[in-house]
């Protein structure tokens, strides 16, 4: 055997390796984006086309308004969940927190007027989120367990608060918010778009957003670069609670009557839209736009099934299947990226 001799210099080899690695990264990025976007856009378009074609009254103005309001409330809760999942956490208590915020808001609206009521409702949500955040950062309870527990605690509190009886909202002005519209667009939907824009800006353009990506993407790096990991986590849970509160206030306005058992199962819907929207359960980058589109998708599915008089039992099945689909996309996407990048870190 003869010696393997090459005339390439080190610099040339490095340059070649660098080019290859850049090319690999570009392809991985492309594929990731494709999977991420098609994961929500393809189902969205299919449901939209099928809905328009098959479901009676799907595009009637009252149903469109209804869908947009439902989607808006869901999307707002989803933004908070996006943030929490981006930092590798999870918030299972959003449904209970939303119910408590809605009921407290309703009762304060009746006693102190709509503005104070709305404000108190949002603050209640933020407070409950802060409790979750403190449990995770100070008591060191894993997010899953902490919020599973507070899901039960908050639900108990709202049932105690209402005494099991519904609360009727007297203020017509408050109830009008959900049904009013700005330039023909339902107000809650406008709020959802504005809130989404704000969240997107915070995540993509602000220091906080960089820290969120760092904490979720590489916690060790976050610690070593001097990022206050606990502060980021606390804020994420607090914002998740506050967005559940905003959702609760809008829900109270939409329903006009609230009781202690509203918003059960909301956590599953919120997680489903976040993951379907392209935010990875493994943490890292949150995809606010994806969450927004996925909220619209879920609202269309629910409304379509309702209009087709499909029993609500099937809606549970549909939601579960949707979540599984979303998670399998998430897994496939990560596997694809890993395959593309495999072997780089030797």
33 lies in the site for other proteins, by CB under 8 A: no
Query: Applying CB under 8 A, which part among 24-32, 41-49, 97-105, 162-170 lies near other proteins?
Result: 24-32
Q: Is 335 in the site for other proteins (CB under 8 A)?
A: no
Distance of CA 23 to the CA centre of its chain: 32
How far, in whole angstroms, is CA 203 from its chain's centroid?
13
Strands 185-186, 167-168: pairing is unpaired
Residue with smaller CB distance to other proteins, 1 or 165: 1
CA-wise closest residue to 143 among 85, 96, 78, 198: 85
Q: How far is the CB of 287 from other proteins (least distance, A)?
A: 12
Residue closer to other proteins by CB (options 11, 53) is 11
How far is the C-alpha of 296 from the C-alpha of 66, rounded, in Å? Answer: 11
Interatomic CA distance for residues 280 and 293, integer angstroms: 16
Phi-psi region of 165 (alpha: psi -120 to 50; beta: other; left: phi over 0): beta
* Secondary structure class of 245 (helix, strand, coil): helix
* Binds other proteins by CB under 8 A, chosen from 60, 180, 225, 261: 225
d(CA 297, CA 269): 11
Does 6 interact with other proteins (rule: CB under 8 A)?
yes
Hey, what are 332's tokens?
Answer: 């496939």
Closer CB to other proteins, 145 or 205, in the complex: 205
List the x/- string, 130-169, binding to other proteins by CB under 8 A: ----------------------------------------
In the complex, the smallest distance separating the C-beta of residue 330 from other proteins, rounded to whole angstroms, is 15
User: CB of 226: closest distance to other proteins in angstroms?
Assistant: 3
Alpha carbons within 13 A on the beta-carbon side of 20: 11
- Among 148, 310, 336, 341, interactor with other proteins by CB under 8 A: 341
Structure tokens given for 147: 């919020």
Contacts of 134 (CB under 8 A, 6+ apart): 234
Write down the residue that tokens 């990048």 correspond to: 341
Among 24, 48, 64, 123, binds other proteins (CB under 8 A): 24
**Contact flag: residue 10 with other proteins (CB under 8 A):** yes
CB closer to other proteins out of 56 and 226: 226
Which of 101, 105, 151, 227 touches other proteins by CB under 8 A?
A: 227
Among 60, 173, 182, 205, binds other proteins (CB under 8 A): 205
Q: Please state, in angstroms and rounded to a whole number, the distance separating the CA atoms of residues 134 and 59.
A: 45
Which residues of this chain interact with other proteins, rule CB under 8 A? 1, 3-11, 13-14, 16-18, 20-22, 24-26, 28-29, 205-210, 213-214, 217-218, 220-228, 284-285, 339, 341-346
């Amino acid at each position: 055997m003869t010696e393997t001799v090459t005339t390439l210099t080190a610099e040339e080899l490095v340059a070649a390796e660098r080019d290859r690695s850049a090319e690999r990264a570009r392809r991985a990025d492309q594929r990731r984006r494709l999977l991420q976007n098609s994961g929500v856009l393809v189902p969205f378009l299919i449901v939209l086309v099928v809905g328009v074609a098959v479901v009676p009254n799907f595009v009637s103005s009252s149903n469109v308004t209804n869908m947009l309001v439902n989607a808006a409330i869901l999307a707002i809760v989803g933004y908070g969940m996006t943030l929490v999942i981006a930092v590798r956490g999870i918030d299972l208590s959003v449904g209970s927190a939303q119910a408590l915020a809605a009921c407290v808001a309703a009762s304060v609206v009746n006693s102190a007027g709509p503005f104070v009521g709305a404000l108190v409702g949002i603050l209640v949500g933020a407070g409950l989120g802060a409790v979750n955040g403190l449990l995770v950062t100070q008591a060191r309870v894993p997010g899953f367990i902490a919020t599973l527990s507070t899901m039960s605690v908050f639900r108990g509190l709202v049932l105690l608060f209402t005494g099991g009886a519904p609360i009727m909202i007297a203020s017509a002005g408050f109830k009008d918010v959900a049904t009013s519209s700005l330039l023909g667009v339902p107000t809650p939907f406008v709020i959802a778009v504005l809130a989404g824009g704000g969240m997107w800006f915070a995540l993509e353009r602000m220091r906080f957003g960089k820290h969120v990506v760092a904490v979720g993407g590489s916690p060790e790096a976050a610690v070593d670069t001097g990022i206050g990991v606990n502060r980021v986590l606390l804020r994420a849970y607090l914002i998740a609670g506050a967005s559940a509160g905003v959702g609760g206030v809008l829900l109270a306005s939409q329903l006009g009557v609230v009781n202690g058992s509203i918003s059960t199962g909301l956590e599953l819907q919120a997680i489903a839209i976040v993951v379907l929207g392209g935010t990875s359960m493994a943490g890292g980058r949150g995809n606010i736009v994806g969450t927004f589109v996925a909220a619209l998708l879920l609202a269309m599915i629910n409304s379509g099934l309702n209009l087709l008089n499909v029993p609500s039992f099937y809606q549970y099945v549909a939601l579960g299947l949707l979540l599984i689909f979303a998670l399998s996309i998430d897994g496939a996407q990560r596997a694809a990226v890993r395959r593309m990048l495999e072997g780089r870190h030797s």
